Amino acid sequence: MSAKKLLILPGDGIGVEVMAQVRRIIDWLGKRRKIEFDLSEGLIGGSAYDVHGTPLADETLADALAADAVLLGAVGGPKWDNLPFDKKPERGLLKIRKEMGLFANLRPATVFDALVDASTLKPEIVAGLDIMILRELTGGLYFGQPRGIETLPDGSRRGVNTLVYTTEEVRRIGRVAFELARKRNKRVCSVDKANVLECTVLWREEMVKLQREEFPDVELSHMYVDNAAMQLVRNPKQFDVMVTENTFGDILSDCAAMLTGSLGMLPSASLGAADENGRRRALYEPVHGSAPDIAGKDIANPLATILSFAMCLRYSFDMEAEADLIETAVKTVLKGGLRTGDIMQPGKAKVSTTVMGEAVVRELDK
């Protein structure tokens, strides 16, 4: 098997610091498990603008399109706040997502035993939580036409957005959901508003057909989005994979993130269309941003990015065993009492970004 092509884009701010810790893990995989990657590194965001005059150079984009997976840190910072709109660091991120055709956004919400207290909910509600929210990312209400604000003949105005999905768009996000469920607990809950919105009636019908035709081994249930929001807070552990429309997913995934209570711990993945071998374009990144307030101080939490890399191993490289090892090492390090500032608890040891990264590698070594 040829080495997997991995493009690393540290980006700006703490992105650079947290990515350096992933490098340690990559080194460890090479030394201890003889796993070599075809690695390259590039610039994105403000750091790319400083060198190339654009937040995403064509050659970097070409590298991303040729890679088996892209691992990204974060972009942005006050230094680049006053650039023209199309030069802003965030444009680089939006462009790479669009050009890679990433229509599926995976946001796991996992509560680590050692961090149960970080949640605003009661321990018995969140302890052991491990769910996956899958958000459709390129369609739905955020992209449907017609849209805009128009002035009517009588001078009054109206704003319009439109919820649109084609059967093909529903089926391709549905396939990702069922494939994910096969790697987890074989349960998918499709979230819609089929009692009110026709577009989501079609969504539900297509999910039902897809399950019957291609994924009869996976259990499919349906829930209205208002109830889903309520259930996420009331009893989140009833879910495994939740799949939903763009806007609904935006809201539900942030809600689920807060069940865990720690931004510095949350990984994400965005996937594109499958090629003839079933391989998907993929970009992995922490949910948090470049955190300019703490950049350059070696205090950022690297675990969200380390866990994003574990997702990359699991979903793009079929290295389930190594993904499990990394996730277990993270859990053990937390159990041992090490904390970066963002997840600090009384009685625990406050450590730097570097020390946290080293601790994960030391744990892997055991």
Active site residue 254: yes
Asked if 273 and 281 count as a contact pair (C-beta separation under 8 A), the reply is yes
Active site residue 324: no
**Shortest reach from residue 45's CB to Mg ion, in Å:** 14
**Shortest reach from residue 343's CB to ligand ATP, in Å:** 8
**Shortest reach from residue 74's CB to ligand ATP, in Å:** 6
Name the binder of 294 from Mg ion, ligand ATP, none, CB < 5-8 A by kind: ligand ATP
Q: How many residues bind ligand ATP (CB under 6 A)?
A: 16
Q: Which stretch binds Mg ion (CB under 5 A): 189-197, 226-234, 247-255, 284-292?
A: 284-292
Q: Which stretch binds Mg ion (CB under 5 A): 29-37, 105-113, 282-290, 358-366?
A: 282-290
Residue number of the CB closest to ligand ATP reads: 289
- By CB under 6 A, residue 76 contacts ligand ATP: yes
- By CB under 6 A, residue 263 contacts ligand ATP: yes
**Shortest reach from residue 253's CB to ligand ATP, in Å:** 13
**Which candidate in 130, 142, 186, 209 is catalytic?**
142
CA-to-CA distance for 285 and 308, rounded, in angstroms? 6
Active site residue 318: no
Phi, psi of 178 (to 5 degrees): -70, -35
Name the binder of 272 from ligand ATP, Mg ion, none, CB < 5-8 A by kind: none
**Which candidate in 250, 284, 315, 342 is catalytic?**
250
CA-to-CA distance for 171 and 246, rounded, in angstroms? 14
**Shortest reach from residue 143's CB to Mg ion, in Å:** 21
Q: Which of 301, 323, 325, 326 binds ligand ATP (CB under 6 A)?
A: 301
Active site residue 250: yes
Name the binder of 342 from Mg ion, ligand ATP, none, CB < 5-8 A by kind: ligand ATP
Active site residue 193: yes
CA-to-CA distance for 256 and 108, rounded, in angstroms? 8
Name the binder of 301 from ligand ATP, Mg ion, none, CB < 5-8 A by kind: ligand ATP
Name the binder of 60 from Mg ion, ligand ATP, none, CB < 5-8 A by kind: none
Q: Which stretch binds Mg ion (CB under 5 A): 196-204, 264-272, 289-297, 346-354?
A: 289-297
Residues in contact with ligand ATP by CB under 6 A are 14, 74, 76, 263-264, 288-291, 293-294, 300-301, 304, 340, 342
**Residues labelled catalytic:** 142, 193, 226, 250, 254
